Amino acid sequence: MSTDTDIHDAYIHYVEGDISGENRGGTLALGFHGTGGSEMQMVPLLRDLLPAATIIAPRGDVSEHGAPRFFRRRAEGVYDMKDLARATTKLGDFIAAHVATMKPSRVVGLGYSNGANILASVIFSHPTLFTDAVLMHPLIPWAPKATAVRTRILITAGMNDPICPPSMTRSLESWFVSHATSVEVLWHPGGHEIAPAEAEGAAKFLRIQSRKG
C-alpha cells in the first residue's frame, strides 16, 4: 500500500519554495521536461514567468537509451499507450498529492515536447487539477476521451516543426475548443525548438490570468 510520502516522492524531483503547506494560497508551478532533459530543464523559464511561485519539477521515470522520458514510445510519434496510461495515473497522483498538501490558489503546468504530452494527458484525465497550462510543442496522436476541461490552455508550436506537424497542433486546439476550454495557440516560424516568442507569449498568458485573479 502506498503512503502519502511514497506518492510525494514518486519521482526524483526538484523543489524551489515552500511545499509544507504553511504558506497556503500561493501559486504552485510544475515543469515537465522534454526527451533527454532533466528535472531542471524548465525551471529557469518557470522562475522567470512566475518568480513568486513554488516550483516542483519531476524527472521522467522512463529511460530511452539513457534519455529520460515520462512514458515509453515505440517509434517517433507512436506511443506505448499502456505505459502512457500508467504514467498519467502516477504523475496525476504525484501532482494531486502536492496540491493537497500546499492548497495553492493556482496550479500552473509548463511542459515541452514529451513533457507537454504527459501534461496534456494528465489534464485530460484530471480536468480540474490545473488552473493554467502551457503546452510547448505537444504531439497528441490519440483521441482523448470526451471531458469538460476547466484549465486555461496555451499551445505553442513551430510552423516547420518536423516532430509535430501543424495539422496535429490544430487538431489538439480543436479538441480543447470543443470541450469548453479556453485555449490560445502561438505560432513561430521555426521548428521544434523553444523560440523567444514562446517565452514572451507564455509570460503574457500567465500575467493576464494573474490580473484576473
**Residue 76: CATH number of its domain:** 3.40.50.1820
Catalytic residue list = 113, 161, 192
**Tens-place pLDDT, residues 152-179:** 999 999 999 999 999 999 999 999 999 8
Tell me the backbone φ, ψ of residue 160, rounded to 5 degrees: -120, 35
The count of structural domains within the chain is 1
Helix and strand tally (H, E) in the chain?
6, 11
Confidence at 19, pLDDT banded by 50, 70, 90: confident
- The single-letter DSSP state of residue 71 is S
Residue 4: predicted pLDDT: 58
- Report the length, in residues, of the chain: 213
Residue 77: predicted pLDDT: 87
Lookup result for grid cell 505537444: 138
Give all strands (DSSP E) within the chain, no chain letters: 13-16, 27-32, 54-58, 62-64, 67-69, 73-75, 78-79, 106-112, 132-136, 152-158, 183-188
* Domain that residue 9 falls in: 4-212
Give the containing element (helix H, strand E) for 212.
Answer: helix 196-212
Q: H helices within 110-183, ranges in order?
A: 114-125, 166-178
Residue 24: predicted pLDDT: 76
Confidence at 23, pLDDT banded by 50, 70, 90: low
Helices 114-125 and 81-102, interaxial angle, to 10°? 70
User: Considering only 7-11, 184-188, 206-210, which range has the smallest mean pLDDT?
Assistant: 206-210
Output b/e per residue, 175-186; b: 16+ Cβ within 10 A: bbeebebebbbb
